[in-house]
Chains A and B, each alone.
Chain A
Amino acid sequence: DTGVSQNPRHKITKRGQNVTFRCDPISEHNRLYWYRQTLGQGPEFLTYFQNEAQLEKSRLLSDRFSAERPKGSFSTLEIQRTEQGDSAMYLCASSLDSSMGVAFFGQGTRLTVV
């Protein structure tokens, strides 16, 4: 495992459907982050896990969004009842406690809601 892996890379869904994305962090990285990036903007923080505990959530994470990291390894991000405004790149990153905060990003999942 040489990096953060995200699946799927691309997802097209109809408005109102539920979607789930998966992130596999670098092995032994205990911290995992989700960011969202809309076209022409920088990424925005969504949420953060330390092991299996979700320690912080942005107000951007509405009640239609839920993120889990059940065993402190991979994480899933689910969006229920998708809206066109959810169309974005969803980026996952992971880091170690001792890394001065340096996080490694995955390639992202591009969501298009039609």
Chain B
Amino acid sequence: KQEVTQIPAALSVPEGENLVLNCSFTDSAIYNLQWFRQDPGKGLTSLLLIQSSQREQTSGRLNASLDKSSGRSTLYIAASQPGDSATYLCAVRRILTGGGNKLTFGTGTQLKVEL
């Protein structure tokens, strides 16, 4: 059974700081890995998706890396801003019967960026 762990569970940083969120998974047989952002009481917003054959993806101030063999991914946020405050979820995807897929999520890192 796939298990996804995220460390730290919560993080509070001053504005402008660079930070790293960690994600680990137990089964390396994944199709891809995706990072999401979730604001309180809201749905999920996709940030970055890394295919199993890739090592990293970048979007603006965000950079995600993947080391599939060791079961680890990191999300790097540069020059953090108060608007980055949210819960960040890591999820690994595997393919299901019929071609659909299933995401297994971690419990998230709750980030607060203070002025």
Seen from chain A, the residues whose Cβ lies within 8 Å of a Cβ on chain B are 4, 31, 33, 35, 40-45, 48, 50, 53, 55-56, 89, 91, 95, 97, 100-108, 110
The one of A44, A103, A104 in contact with B105, judged by C-beta atoms closer than 8 angstroms, is A44
CA distance A56 to B32 in the complex (A): 20
Q: Is B98 positioned at the interface, with any CB of A under 8 Å from its CB?
A: yes
Q: Is B76 positioned at the interface, with any CB of A under 8 Å from its CB?
A: no
The one of A4, A91, A102 in contact with B46, judged by C-beta atoms closer than 8 angstroms, is A102
Number of A-B contacts (CB under 8 A): 69
Given A45-B103, A56-B102, A101-B93, 20 more pairs with CB closer than 8 A: A35-B103, A43-B103, A48-B96, A48-B100, A50-B99, A53-B98, A55-B100, A56-B97, A56-B98, A91-B43, A100-B32, A100-B49, A100-B51, A101-B32, A101-B95, A102-B46, A103-B101, A103-B103, A104-B46, A105-B45
Seen from chain B, the residues whose Cβ lies within 8 Å of a Cβ on chain A are 4, 31-32, 34, 36, 41-46, 49, 51, 89, 91, 93, 95-108
